[in-house]
Structure 1
Amino acid sequence: MFSLLCAVCLGFLFRRMWAEEPRRLRNAAVFLLTCYFAVSAALELIALLLPGAAGFLVLGVLFLFPLSVLVLSGVLIRNGMRMFRREGRSLGNSLSLLAGIGLLAAPAVAIPLALTLSPLGIAGAMLLFLVCAHLGTAFLVFLTFARLYARRRPRPEPDAVVVLGSRLIRGEVPPLLRARLDRGRFEFEQQLAAGAAPLYLVPSGGQGQDEPRPEGEAMAEYLRDSGVPAGAVLAEDRARTTEENLLFSRRLVDERNADGQDAGGRQGPAGGHLLVVTNGYHVPRTALLSRAVGIDADAVGARTARYFVPSAFLREFVAVANMHRRLHVLLLLPSILLTGAFGWLLWNLN
C-alpha cells in the first residue's frame, strides 16, 4: 500500500514538474522513482495473490542483470570497433568501446579485490561498486530524460527555426549536417503550412580552424539551393559552441525584428520561443543548455546513422555530467566517506 501511495504521489508530482518546465533532469529522476514504486507495488500485489511467484520474479531479475551487462558490453565494444573503421580513431569515437571495456573491467577488478579479504581490498571494491552505481544511475536518468523529451511535441509558432551547425568537409555540407538542415526546412515548412506568421530559418555556426568558411554561410547556401526563400534565411556565422549558437541566434532574430526587417514584417522583438534543430543524440543537451542560458526554446532531432549514436550519446552524457560536476561531487562524497569509515572499521577490527 505504501509503494502504491508513493507511486501515485510521485506520478502527480512528475506531471506538474513536466508541465512547468520539461528541460530539467530532475523530471527524469522523479519519473524513475515513480516507476520504481509502481513496480514495487505490482510485486507486492503479486506476492499477496501468488506468494511463490514474486520470489521467482526477483530471482529472474537477479539472473538477468549480469546477463544484460555482458550483452550490453559486447554491443558497445562491437560498436566501438565499427566507429574506428568508419569514423577513424579518436577519443570521441572510442567512447562506446571504452564503456564496453569498463563494464567488463569493473567486476573483474572488484571481485578479486573483495576476495583478498583485506580491509584495503574490501574498501576498494566497495568504492568501485558505489562509483559504478552512481554513474549507472546518472546515465539512466540522462537516458530517461532523452526519451521523455524526444516524445514531447514542440510548441507552435516559434519566432524562428534555428539549425545548429557542425563541422564542414572541404567547405561543403556533409551528410550529418545535411540531415539537420533537411529537418529544419521541414519544420519551417510545417509552421508555414499550419498558418504561422512568416518566420526566419536560422542556420547557425562559426568558422572552425580547419574550415575554409563559416558553417552558417555554407548552411544558408544549402537551404537556398533547396528552395527556401532567400529572404527567410538568416545566417548566424560567429558561434563556436552550442551555447553561442543559442545566444547569438536569439540575439540576431531579436535585432532583425526590432529593425522591422523580419520575414513577416512584424515590428519589435517577438519575445517568443525558438525551435532548435540538431541531431537526435544532441537534443537533450541542447534543451538543458537553452534553459541554463535563459533561452526559451524547444529542441527537435534529425535522424542519425545508427552506428554513430552510441558513441555520440555517451559523449553528450559526459558533457552534461560536466555541466553538473559540482552536483556529482556532492552526491559521490557520502560514498567516499562511507567507504573510508568502513575501511577504517575493518582495519581496526583486524
Structure 2
Amino acid sequence: MGNYFSIFIGIIYLIGVFMIPKWRQKKVNQDWKFYELLWFSICFIVYVIHLEVRLHTYYFLIPSFFLLLFLFCYFKEKRRLVNGLVFNLFLVIGMTYLGSLLVRTTDPVLLILAGITGIFLLLLLFIGLYALVVFLYWNAIVVMRKEGHSLANLLTLLLAIGLTVFLIVNYYSSRVLPSWASLLFGILPLSMFYFSVVFYNFLTISMIYQFNQPKYEQDFIIVLGSGLIDGKTVPPLLGKRIEKAVQFYKAQTRATLNSPKILMSGGKGDDEHIAESLAMKHYAIEKGIPEEDILVETNSKNTLENMKFSKEIMEATFGGTDFHAIFTTNNFHLFRAGLFAKMANLKADGIGAKTALYFLPNAFLREFIAIVMMHKRRHMIICGLIALMMILLALAEFFLVPTT
C-alpha cells in the first residue's frame, strides 16, 4: 500500500510540475518559480504525513508547530529580521525530525534526500571555507572589471583577504601560542561565527522576502532612487527598478483597468544636475507611462527619507491614509528598504528587480554591513560578552592550570 501511495504522490507531483508553467502563462503575472516551490513543499509534506500515519505516530506536529510559528510571524509583519531566525529554527528542527523518520522507516525517498544533503554538508565541512575564499577572489575580479574599483565594489575582495589572513594565522597560532593565548585568539573565530549566523539569518529572510506577490489593488508604486550617471542619466540598476514598476503598472492596468500612480522618489545630490526623481520620470515616460500617472518626490537624500516623504505625498494625493502601496528596488536592497518603510510607519512591501548574478555577493555584503550598523549596539554587546568569556577562560588557564 505504501509503495502505491509513493507512486501516486510522485505522479501527482510531476503533473503539477508540468501544469504550473502552463497555468501561469494564462495569468497577468506569469512567474511560476514560487508556485513550483510551493507545490513541491505541499507534496513532500503530504508524503511525510503519510509515512507517520503508517507508523501510527504524530511527531510531524513538532516541526509543523515551528512552521506555523514562522508563518504567523512572517504574515503578521514581513519586515523583521527575527523571521529569518524563526525560519532557520524550523529548518533545524525539521531536518532533525526527517533524520529520525528515516531511521524509523528507511524510506527510499528520504534516503535519497539524506544522501544529497549529507554530501553537501560534508563538502561544506571540509572545503566550504576554502571554496568560499576562492569564490570571493574570483567574484572580486569580475566586479572590479565590470563595475570599477570603488570601495563599495571591493567588499568581496576585502572579505577574501581577511579570511585568508585568518586561515593562515589560525593555522600557526595553535602551534606557536601557549594555550591561554590561543583562548584569547579564540575571540576572533567566535565573533566571526556569530556574524556568520547573523548573516545567514539576514540572507534567509532576504530570500524569502523576494517571494512577495502583491495583489493588483495598489494605489501607488514607489520607485526608490539612486545615483545618476554624469548627474543626469538613469544608470542600469536604477533603470531596472523603474522597469519593474512599469511592469507592475501595466499588469495591474490590464487585470483591473485601475492604473496605480508611480511615485518617483529621489532628491538632487551635490554632484547631480537634476533631482533623481525627475530623471526617473523622463525614463518612465519613454517606457510608455502617461505623465499624469507619475508623481515625483524631490527632497529625499536616503532610503528612509524616500519612505517618509513619499508617504506624505501619497497621503496628500489620496486624501487619507487608507491607500495600498508597494515599492520597487533592486532585489538585494529589497529587505532593508522594507525595514526603512517600517521605520517610516509606511505599510508597504516591495518587489525586487533582478540584478546581475556577479554583482549580488558584493551587494548583499553591503546590505549586511548596513543592517549590522542599524543594530550596532546589540552586536557590540554580544561581541563584548564573547570577548569577556574568552578573557576569563584565558586568565583561568594562565593562573589555575599548572604548567608541565
TM-score (norm 1): 0.89
Structure 1 match to 2:312: 251
User: Could you say if the C-alpha distance between residues 47 and 223 of structure 1 is closer, same or farther in structure 2, counting changes exceeding 3 Å?
Assistant: same
CA distance in 2, matches of 1:95, 1:125: 24
Within the alignment, does 1:19 sit opposite 2:75 as a pair? yes
User: Could you say if the C-alpha distance between residues 337 and 156 of structure 1 is closer, same or farther in structure 2, counting changes exceeding 3 Å?
Assistant: farther
CA distance in 2, matches of 1:5, 1:119: 46
User: How far off is 1:281 after superposition?
Assistant: 0.8
Moved over 3 A (4+): 1-6, 44-50, 53-64
2:152 pairs with one of 75, 92, 98: 92
CA distance in 2, matches of 1:272, 1:119: 63
CA distance in 1, matches of 2:327, 2:128: 35
User: Could you say if the C-alpha distance between residues 195 and 59 of structure 1 is closer, same or farther in structure 2, counting changes exceeding 3 Å?
Assistant: closer
Q: How do 1:145-184 residues align onto structure 2 when only pairs under 5 Å count?
A: 145-170=205-230, 171-184=232-245
Match of 2:369, SS?
helix
User: How far off is 1:92 after superposition?
Assistant: 0.6
User: How far off is 1:222 after superposition?
Assistant: 1.3
State whether residues 114 and 121 of structure 1, in contact with CA within 8 Å, keep that contact through their aligned partners in structure 2: no
User: How far off is 1:335 after superposition?
Assistant: 1.5
CA distance in 2, matches of 1:318, 1:120: 32
2:323 pairs with one of 262, 265, 272: 272
Match of 1:234, SS?
strand
User: Could you say if the C-alpha distance between residues 314 and 297 of structure 1 is closer, same or farther in structure 2, counting changes exceeding 3 Å?
Assistant: same
Identity %: 31
1:43 pairs with one of 82, 99, 116: 99
State whether residues 212 and 351 of structure 2, in contact with CA within 8 Å, keep that contact through their aligned partners in structure 1: no
Structure 2 match to 1:68: 128
Structure 2 match to 1:188: 249
2:385 pairs with one of 322, 325, 334: 334
Number of aligned residue pairs: give it: 338
CA distance in 2, matches of 1:286, 1:74: 31
CA distance in 2, matches of 1:187, 1:56: 38
**Amino acid corresponding to residue 373 of structure 2 in structure 1:** N
User: How far off is 1:110 after superposition?
Assistant: 2.2
CA RMSD of aligned residues (A): 2.5
State whether residues 249 and 259 of structure 2, in contact with CA within 8 Å, keep that contact through their aligned partners in structure 1: no
CA distance in 1, matches of 2:385, 2:99: 30
Structure 1 window deviating more from structure 2 (220-229 vs 313-322): it is: 220-229
User: Could you say if the C-alpha distance between residues 56 and 244 of structure 1 is closer, same or farther in structure 2, counting changes exceeding 3 Å?
Assistant: closer
User: How far off is 1:180 after superposition?
Assistant: 1.1
User: How far off is 1:9 after superposition?
Assistant: 2.6
Structure 2 match to 1:114: 174
State whether residues 200 and 232 of structure 1, in contact with CA within 8 Å, keep that contact through their aligned partners in structure 2: yes
State whether residues 67 and 87 of structure 2, in contact with CA within 8 Å, keep that contact through their aligned partners in structure 1: yes
State whether residues 307 and 341 of structure 2, in contact with CA within 8 Å, keep that contact through their aligned partners in structure 1: yes
2:288 pairs with one of 223, 227, 239: 227
State whether residues 114 and 122 of structure 1, in contact with CA within 8 Å, keep that contact through their aligned partners in structure 2: yes
Structure 2 match to 1:123: 183
Which blocks of at least 5 consecutive residues in structure 1 are unaligned?
Answer: 258-267
State whether residues 76 and 100 of structure 1, in contact with CA within 8 Å, keep that contact through their aligned partners in structure 2: yes
CA distance in 1, matches of 2:124, 2:84: 24
Within the alignment, does 1:199 sit opposite 2:255 as a pair? no
User: Could you say if the C-alpha distance between residues 277 and 57 of structure 1 is closer, same or farther in structure 2, counting changes exceeding 3 Å?
Assistant: closer
